[in-house]
């Protein structure tokens, strides 16, 4: 489809095709974000899949749905969004590579880490927009976020087909370290005890006593990354594995206490037609209760901390402040004096209290 490409944080007045984001832009919306206006017959788990479905329609139907659209826009830069843009703008390249495109989008939005090629591509998409690490870093410095995103997408699109086909060796310095970390994290989890609580959509990983993360550069705590925690085989025809849980609790026993990290994935935030979401526990209240049990002041530098429950993929942990949202590894874990049995009991109570019957 021949439309100019743009990044916008404000919807504007002119009709557009808006992909991935859902920010009330007039026109056609192709998104899995909460509040999206995607036509029901096009709804899929990923915005990339929605865009591929749109590009698979007869051209007359595409023109009808996109009537009056003046641009193709997104309001943020990420892998699923770029995959969706590519599917609409370059359908002859995207449709034959749909499986690889969907896998990369799932690695980005759902932290799927079983497909190493998809993980590498997701890593590269993010790196291309990094002002320090991007191969076009000199071109990105000084640009505002919208201009930086657009230039990064243009650079990606020149290489997207090759990258989807696995030709990525020239960019190995950008993905070698994250890929080594993913492999180490998955090996660490293979040695941990796994308790799969399907009714709570929770997987509890408990390391052996005194175990530490083996990945290069780890500060020492048992702290496997999100892509290892939510890895799973992706069945043909599905964007996500039904065996992957929405919540992961990681316990690293140390003496009478342990390190703890509870991560809630994006499964319960995005609008996914194939997966019913359970109600989320209030992580802020959970942190307050655990700090009371711990006897820790609410302004202590090391304490139970929680990100806002309504954010796309929040987490709770005991330790210092984190440096970034959606961090692959917590990186700030400290040893809590609370026994794993006590912490697990409180977390399970909160999860049960948040259960809601699907509509």
- Is residue 268 in some structural domain? yes
Q: Please check whether residues 121 and 237 belong to one and the same domain.
A: no
Q: Report pLDDT digits (tens) over 214-254.
A: 998 888 899 999 999 999 765 555 566 666 899 999 999 99
Q: Please check whether residues 313 and 240 belong to one and the same domain.
A: yes
Q: Please check whether residues 160 and 220 belong to one and the same domain.
A: no
Residue 330 belongs to domain spanning: 186-353
Domain tally, the chain: 2
Q: Please check whether residues 207 and 318 belong to one and the same domain.
A: yes
Q: Please check whether residues 88 and 193 belong to one and the same domain.
A: no
Question: Residue 270 has which token pair?
Answer: 């995005």
Q: Please check whether residues 244 and 100 belong to one and the same domain.
A: no
Compute φ and ψ for 114, nearest 5 degrees: -75, -35
Average pLDDT over residues 62-88: 97
Question: Lowest mean pLDDT: which of 154-158, 236-240, 317-321?
Answer: 236-240
- Is residue 144 in some structural domain? yes
Q: Please check whether residues 58 and 107 belong to one and the same domain.
A: yes
Q: Please check whether residues 260 and 202 belong to one and the same domain.
A: yes
Q: Please check whether residues 125 and 73 belong to one and the same domain.
A: yes
Q: Indicate the residue among 136, 167, 198 that finishes a domain.
A: 167
- Is residue 358 in some structural domain? no
Name the residue with higher pLDDT: 171 or 11: 171
- Is residue 178 in some structural domain? no
| 240/45 Cα distance (integer angstroms) | 8
Average pLDDT over residues 256-265: 96
Q: Indicate the residue among 117, 135, 167 that finishes a domain.
A: 167
pLDDT for res 241: 64
Given a cut of 70, whether residue 356 has pLDDT beyond it is: no
Q: Which residues contact 83 (CB under 8 A, 6 or more apart)?
A: 46, 47, 48, 51, 94, 101, 102, 104, 105
Q: Report pLDDT digits (tens) over 79-99.
A: 999 999 999 999 999 999 999
- Is residue 162 in some structural domain? yes
Closest CA relative to residue 121, chosen from 156, 151, 152: 156
Q: Please check whether residues 231 and 106 belong to one and the same domain.
A: no
Q: Please check whether residues 344 and 203 belong to one and the same domain.
A: yes
13-to-4, 71, 235 alpha-carbon distances in Å: 16, 12, 41
């Amino acid at each position: 489809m021949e439309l100019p490409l743009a990044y916008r944080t404000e919807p504007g007045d002119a009709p557009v095709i808006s992909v991935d984001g859902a920010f009330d832009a007039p026109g056609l919306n192709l998104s899995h974000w909460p509040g999206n206006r995607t036509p029901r017959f096009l709804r899929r788990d990923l915005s990339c899949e929605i865009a591929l479905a749109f590009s698979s329609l007869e051209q007359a139907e595409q023109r009808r749905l996109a009537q009056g659209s003046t641009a193709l826009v997104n309001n943020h830069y990420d892998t699923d969004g770029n995959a969706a843009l590519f599917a609409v703008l370059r359908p002859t390249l995207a449709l034959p590579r749909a499986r690889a495109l969907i896998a990369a989008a799932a690695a980005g939005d759902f932290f799927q880490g079983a497909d190493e090629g998809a993980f590498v591509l997701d890593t590269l998409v993010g790196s291309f927009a990094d002002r320090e690490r991007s191969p076009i870093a000199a071109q990105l410095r000084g640009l505002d976020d919208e201009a930086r995103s657009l230039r990064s997408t243009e650079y990606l699109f020149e290489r997207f087909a090759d990258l989807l086909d696995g030709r990525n060796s020239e960019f190995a310095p950008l993905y070698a370290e994250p890929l080594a970390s993913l492999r180490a994290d998955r090996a660490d989890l293979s040695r941990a005890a796994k308790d799969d609580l399907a009714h709570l959509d929770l997987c509890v990983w408990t390391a052996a006593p005194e175990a530490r993360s083996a990945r290069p550069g780890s500060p020492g705590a048992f702290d496997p990354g999100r892509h290892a925690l939510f890895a799973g085989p992706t069945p043909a025809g599905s964007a996500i594995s039904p065996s992957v849980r929405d919540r992961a609790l990681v316990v690293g026993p140390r003496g009478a206490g342990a390190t703890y990290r509870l991560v809630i994935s994006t499964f319960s935030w995005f609008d996914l037609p194939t997966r019913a979401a359970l109600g989320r526990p209030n992580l802020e209240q959970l942190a307050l209760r655990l700090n009371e049990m711990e006897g820790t002041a609410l302004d202590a530098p090391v304490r139970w901390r929680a990100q806002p429950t309504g954010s796309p993929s929040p987490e709770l942990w005991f330790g210092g402040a984190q440096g970034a949202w959606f961090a692959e590894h917590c990186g700030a874990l400290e040893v809590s004096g609370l026994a794993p049995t006590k912490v697990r009991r409180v977390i399970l109570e909160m999860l049960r209290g948040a259960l809601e019957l699907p509509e």
